[in-house]
Chain A
Amino acid sequence: MFDQDFVAILPEIFLINASIILLMYGVFCRSRFIIRNIAWLGLLSIIVTLLLHVNNVCTTANLFYNNLILDNFTFYCKMFLLLSTASVILMCLDYFKQENVYAFESIILILFSTCSMLLMISAYDLITMYLAIELQSLCFYVIAASQRNSEFSTEAGLKYFLLGAFSSGILLFGCSLLYGFTGVTNYEELAKIMLSFSSSNTPGMLAVAILFIAVGFLFKITAVPFHMWAPDVYEGSPTYVTAFFSIAPKIAILANMLRIFVFSLYDPTWQQLFFFSSAASMIVGALAAMSQNKIKRLLAYSSIGHIGYICIGFCCGTLEGIASLLIALFIYICMTINVFAAILSLRKNTFKYIGDLGGLSRTNPVLAITLAITMFSYAGIPPLAGFCSKFYLFFAALGSGLGLLAFIGVVTSVISCFYYIRFVKIMYFDTAWILFEPMDREKSLILGITLLLILFFFLYPSPLFLITHQMALRLCF
């Protein structure tokens, strides 16, 4: 009876098998330089997974006794996740060679966590969701600490593990409260039960359960009251791991959050929570990044700020809100891939501070202009892609009566401009400091593609708007 189901999850099955085969290949083939080989094969398997996913015959289904779901929403989210994972692997290929990283397991772990994120996107049950999150987090704890000879990396791994395990515990407690109160774990059943309460008489226990689940998720997406680990982990982990952390899990966890909060637990309780955390994230992201000197810490705070913007869409809970969230997410991911590709290509062991970018416009003018444009786009200056995401988010916020949030967003986006254009200032007006080596072909490919997207998204944005609208529709109805 599971025939159809196994066909439907063929991409996941393939990815799991491919990673196991790669693991065995790595174990049996003892060479010091196996990692690039494995990375290329891993990239290949991601691409094959993507192809399998796109050509999947089964696009809309509930699988395995309603434990997993496939629909339009998961289709695009997974596609996007696979694309961003592929680009992360592509951009760290050169890093392995230059930095003498021999631990091929990190690639395998990236593949495993990708697989878990695929499952997370299509999770349709509290248990599936939790298991998928845990698989992903476990992989992440390991790769955060993968550089064993660096104190920063081990410390980052430890911090990430402690706080991640803590947040998972909170999430799990929320799930068990929910189960204990309602007796179901399936999203669809939960949605039916939630329907029976009107917005005013949500029982207190249920609100507590929702609160715990929301807090667990906010931990995972580094929203503000629970963001403490992000800057340390981002700074300590090896750069390619930071890139992966700040790109891939955001898609998966936000997709899952949308599914659980908008579809099954639609309730005003969490809206206030997200309202607060969104406003706080924007403010902290804008103000705290101002005083950062290290580039990865700054990007961590900037990603906190962007999560704040993205959460604006979440607070609305309307169709536009969800669509704007997805648009902002996609554009944010695109810009972040670009930034990390640029930073990874500035490879020098000493490269840590923003000031080290000084005079980049003279030593590497093309990279300088790329980074400058991405920073302007992060800041939301028209006509770059970042503007499109912000304007639609603010529109959605005004549309659902969250004028205050839109106002805070607007003010913080001006404040955050200050440190984004500091990059431009340092690259263009300061004197040269470090001479970087030229980047490899893979990274320049990624940089080129994402830069084109950032620059010319404005000219023809309707496909993304249509797709996200479809996804939002699928989620709400």
Chain B
Amino acid sequence: MVLSLSYLILLPLLGSVLLLVLPDSNIRLIKRVGLSISLITFVYSLLFWICFDNSCTKFQFVEQIPWLSFSNINFYYGIDGISLLFLILTTFLVPSCLLVGWSSISKYQREYFVAFLVLEAFMLAVFCMLDVLLFFVFFESVLIPMFIIIGVWGSRQRKIRAAYQFFLYTLFGSVFMLLAILFIYFQTGTTDVQILYSTEWSTRRQILLFIAFFASFAVKIPMVPVHIWLPEAHVEAPTAGSVILAGILLKLGTYGLLRFSMPMFPEATAYFTPFIYTLSVIAIIYTSLTTLRQIDLKKIIAYSSVAHMNFVTIGMFSLNVQGIEGSILLMLSHGLVSSALFLCVGALYDRHHTRLVKYYGGLCSTMPIFSLIFLFFTLGNMSLPGTSSFVGEFLILVGAFQSNTSIATLAAIGMVLGAAYSIWLYNRVVFGNWKHIHNFTDLNRRELCLIAPFVIGVLWMGIYPEIFLDCMHSSVNNLISMTTK
């Protein structure tokens, strides 16, 4: 069997070990090897997409490797239509992260590549794992490399505070999930998701377990009262760290809800739907308004990420095909659009070493190519028809209208506000007069190559989303049948 998920997970892991033993003197070699490993992983993950059977509702490429086999806990992994695209997104984003740090990272270069490859392996494992306990393990293990990435390669002194905040917020949320998982394991004697799907819990227990899971996922998504870590972490992280954070780590929470909370606790899902709707709507409107008064470029994009992720939760909890498919599509599209926006901001930061909006202006005459690309992704961020976000948000609104009209209406306000801050940000940065600009270099070839795939992805998903929707139809239908039984 050539196509095996364990190879996919092991590839970056072994690659990072290989990087560790390469000679110290030859940093170019280390960079090239690291990049090629991540590209090979990407190509390899595409093979899974090609060989994926769209009509099958079961998990595919399933493998089981004993871990504590006498306690019924095993490395049990497989993918379905929902996780497939996240795998691809992960493997797609990591090479870009490595390329971003190609020349801008000056210290600990080897460790930079190692940290990202280890992170990639953990994230791939999260999306494949079909065992709740091991899902938790990898869900949490992302913390260590991410803590180091923010702390070591972050830009300012405040980064330590951000790294702490990121670490402790996430950990504090997650430990309750650990207790819930242990409780489940104690009650059922298994942590295998497919068995747990068919386990019936009493409504009371479902509610408690759902809360415990939600405490963890809500921090990661992030829902409104616990979203403070995100802008901090985003602002202080290096560009590549922000790309991974926005691109993948925010998806872990929503993915977890989709994979575990909803199908395992259907009654609690129904019970908590109004609660989550409310939180999400508050988050959408509140963070969109917050965005208007931010002066830090990265913070603006970070807050807009919060708004988008809360759109996703609204779509998921509408519990119909359009809503859920829209939310998955919006997650993917957000992974592309906001990552690309962070890349753009990173390019600006590399040139001018500031992220404050008031120092920028008139970039359209000094950096025309950049302005064009930034415009494209700004429009993508406000979900202009033709870009990927539009499809996602449209489907979400369609889904939400079917289940709760007033929530959908309120969420639609978020779109208006999104347009407001996106356009305003673009105006302030790109148009107007030159301010304090001494550096006139436009995007170089490496940066263009870096951004081009994102442009292609966004357009492709926006114009022809069929190919992405096709592979998730049956899985989503299966999910809905489990959640509304």
Contact pick for B183, options A382, A383, A398, A460, CB 8 Å: A398
Given contacts A414-B171, A421-B164, A458-B137, 20 further A-B contacts (CB under 8 A): A381-B141, A381-B143, A381-B144, A381-B171, A382-B138, A394-B182, A395-B182, A395-B186, A398-B183, A410-B175, A410-B179, A414-B175, A417-B167, A424-B148, A424-B151, A429-B151, A429-B152, A429-B159, A461-B67, A465-B71
Quick check: is B102 within 8 A (CB to CB) of the other chain? no
Assembly CA distance A411 to B175 (angstroms): 8
- Please count the residue pairs between chain A and chain B whose beta carbons lie under 8 angstroms apart in the complex: 78
> Is the pair A428, B175 in contact by a Cβ cutoff of 8 Å?
no
In the complex, residue of chain B having the shortest beta-carbon distance to the beta carbon of A394: B182
Q: Which of A378-406 contact B (CB under 8 A)?
A: 381-383, 387, 391, 394-395, 398-399, 406
- Write out the residue numbers on chain B whose beta carbons fall within 8 Å of the beta carbon of A376: 144
| Most chain A CB atoms below 10 A, which of B71, B141, B164, B179 | B179
A410: B residues at CB distance < 8 A: 175-176, 178-179
A462 beta carbon closer than 8 Å to chain B: yes
B168, CB-defined interface residue at 8 Å: yes
Q: Complex: how many Å from CA A411 to CA B168?
A: 11
Question: Please, which residues of chain B bring their CB within 8 A of the CB of A406?
Answer: 179, 182
CA distance A447 to B164 in the complex (A): 27
Nearest CB to that of A410 among chain B residues? B175
Whether B151 pairs with A428 at a CB distance below 8 angstroms is yes
> Given A398-B182, A418-B168, A421-B164, does the pair A382, B68 have CB atoms closer than 8 Å?
no
Bound-state CA distance A413–B73 (Å) is: 23
B147 and A421 contacting across the interface, CB-CB below 8 Å: yes
Binary CB contact string for chain B from 52 to 87 against chain A (1 if under 8 A, 0 otherwise): 000000000000001111110000000000000000
CA distance in complex: A458, B136 (Å): 13
B67 neighbours in A (Cβ, 8 Å): 460-462
Smallest beta-carbon distance A207→chain B, Å: 31
| A462 and B178 contacting across the interface, CB-CB below 8 Å | no
Q: Given the known A-B contacts A391-B133, A425-B160, A466-B70, are A383 and B141 also in contact in the complex, defined by CB atoms under 8 Å?
A: yes
Q: Within the complex, what minimum Cβ distance (angstroms) separates A148 from chain B?
A: 42
One digit per residue, 1 when the CB lies within 8 angstroms of any chain B CB and 0 when it does not, for chain A 413-436 equals 110011001001100110000000
- Return chain B residues, CB-CB under 8 Å to A421: 147, 164, 167
Pairwise interchain contact A429-B160, C-beta atoms closer than 8 A: yes
Given known A391-B178, A395-B185, A425-B151, contact A414–B138 (CB-CB < 8 A): no
Task: Please give the distance in Å from B471's CB to the nearest CB on chain A.
Answer: 30
* Cβ of A469 to closest chain B Cβ, rounded Å: 8
> Could you list some 27 contacts between A and B, CB below 8 A?
A376-B144, A381-B140, A394-B178, A394-B179, A394-B182, A395-B185, A398-B179, A399-B186, A406-B182, A410-B175, A410-B176, A413-B175, A414-B168, A417-B171, A418-B164, A418-B168, A421-B164, A424-B147, A425-B151, A425-B163, A428-B148, A429-B152, A429-B160, A462-B67, A462-B68, A465-B70, A466-B70
Q: Tell me whether A166 is interfacial, beta carbon within 8 Å.
A: no
Q: Which of A459-475 contact B (CB under 8 A)?
A: 460-462, 465-466
B464 within 8 A of A: no
Residues A382 and B140 in contact, CB atoms below 8 Å apart: yes
B172 and A414 contact, CB distance less than 8 A: yes
Question: Is A391 within 8 A of B171, CB to CB?
Answer: no
Chain B residues, CB < 8 A from A411: 175
| Given known contacts A376-B144, A391-B182, A399-B186, A382 and B136 CB-to-CB distance under 8 angstroms | yes
Residues of A within 8 A of B69 (CB): 462
Tell me if A33 is interfacial: C-beta within 8 Å of chain B: no
Please determine whether A383 and B186 come into contact, CB atoms closer than 8 angstroms. no
Query: With the chains together, A424 CA to B147 CA distance in Å?
Result: 10
Cβ contact within 8 Å between A462 and B141: no
Q: How far is the CA of A465 from the CA of B160 in the complex (A)?
A: 37
Tell me the minimal C-beta distance from B316 to chain A in angstroms. 26
CB contacts (< 8 Å) of A424 on chain B: these are 147-148, 151
A residues within 8 A CB of B167? 417, 421
Contacts of B163 in A (CB 8 A): 425
- Which A residues are CB-close (under 8 A) to B137? 382-383, 387, 458
For the complex, is A25 an interface residue (Cβ under 8 Å from B)?
Answer: no
Instruction: Tell yes or no: A64 within 8 A of B by CB.
Output: no
A119 to chain B, nearest CB (A): 33
B140-181 interface code vs A (CB 8 A; 1 in, 0 out):
110110011001100000011001100110011001101100
CB-nearest residue of chain A to B176: A410
> Which residue, of A382, A387, A424, A461, has the highest number of chain B Cβ atoms within 10 A?
A382
User: What is the CA–CA distance of A458 and B185 in the complex, to the nearest angstrom?
Assistant: 18
Contact with B along A277-321 (1 / 0, CB 8 A): 000000000000000000000000000000000000000000000
Of all chain B residues, the one with the shortest Cβ separation from A373 is B144
B residues in contact with A381, CB < 8 Å: 140-141, 143-144, 171
Nearest chain B residue, comparing its CB with the CB of A395:
B182
- Partner among A383, A394, A460 whose Cβ is within 8 Å of the Cβ of B138: A383
Known: A382-B136, A428-B151. A465 touches B68 (CB 8 A): yes
Q: Does A407 contact B (CB under 8 A)?
A: yes
The smallest beta-carbon distance between B190 and chain A, in angstroms, is: 13
> Within the assembled complex, what's the spacing in Å between the Cα atoms of A46 and B160?
45
Find chain B residues with CB under 8 A from A399 CB.
Answer: 186
Chain B's nearest CB lies how many Å from the CB of A278? 17
| Bound form: Cα–Cα A391–B191 in Å | 13
Chain B nearest CB from A21 CB (Å) reads: 45
A462, B185: Cα distance in complex, Å:
17
Q: Find the A residue at minimum CB distance from B159.
A: A429
Asked if A398 and B186 sit within 8 Å, CB to CB, the answer is: yes
Q: How far is the CB of A286 from chain B (nearest CB, A)?
A: 13
Q: Looking across the interface, which residue of chain A has its beta carbon closest to that of B75?
A: A459
In the assembled complex, the Cα of A462 lies from the Cα of B67 at a distance in Å of 7
Could you tell me the distance between the alpha carbons of A429 and B155 in the complex, rounded to whole angstroms?
12
B residues near A383, Cβ cutoff 8 Å: 137-138, 141
Of all chain B residues, the one with the shortest Cβ separation from A460 is B67
Interface residues of B in 167-224 (CB under 8 A from A): 167-168, 171-172, 175-176, 178-179, 182-183, 185-186
Q: Which residues of B contact A460 (CB under 8 A)?
A: 67
Q: Which residues of chain A are within 8 angstroms of B175 by Cβ–Cβ distance?
A: 410-411, 413-414
* Bound complex: CA A381 to CA B152 (Å): 19
Which residues in A have their C-beta under 8 angstroms from that of B144? 376, 381
Across the interface, name the chain A residue whose C-beta is closest to B154: A429
User: What is the 8 Å Cβ interface bit string for chain B, positions 82-113, against chain A (1 contact, 0 not)?
Assistant: 00000000000000000000000000000000
A461: min CB distance to chain B, Å: 6
Q: Smallest CB-CB separation from A372: which chain B residue?
A: B148
Assembly CA distance A410 to B171 (angstroms): 10
A322→B67 CA distance, assembly (Å)? 21
A395–B68 alpha-carbon span in the complex (Å): 14
Q: How far is the CA of A428 from the CA of B151 in the complex (A)?
A: 8
CB–CB B168/A417 < 8 A:
yes
Residues of A within 8 A of B168 (CB): 414, 417-418
Which residue of chain B has the shortest Cβ distance to A425 in the bound complex? B160
Docked pose: A383 CA to B144 CA in angstroms? 10
Name the residue on B nearest A376 (C-beta). Answer: B144
Chain A residue nearest to B152 in the complex (CB): A428
Q: A103 to B100, alpha carbons, bound, how many Å?
A: 58
Instruction: Name B68's contact: one of A414, A418, A461 (CB within 8 Å).
Output: A461
Closest approach, in angstroms, between the C-beta of A197 and any C-beta of chain B?
Answer: 30
A298 to B140, alpha carbons, bound, how many Å? 25
> Which chain B positions have C-beta within 8 A of A382?
136-138, 140-141
How far does the alpha carbon of A460 sit from the alpha carbon of B65 in the complex, in Å?
11
| Contact partners of B140 in chain A: CB under 8 A | 381-382, 387
In angstroms, Cα B73 to Cα A458, docked, is 12
A424 to B163, CA, bound (A): 11
B138 and A462 within 8 A (CB): no
Return the chain A residue nearest B174 by Cβ: A414
| Complex-state Cα separation, A465 to B70, whole angstroms | 9
Residue interface mask B107-144, A partner, CB < 8 A = 1: 00000000000000000000000000100111011011
CA A417 to CA B164, docked complex, whole Å:
10
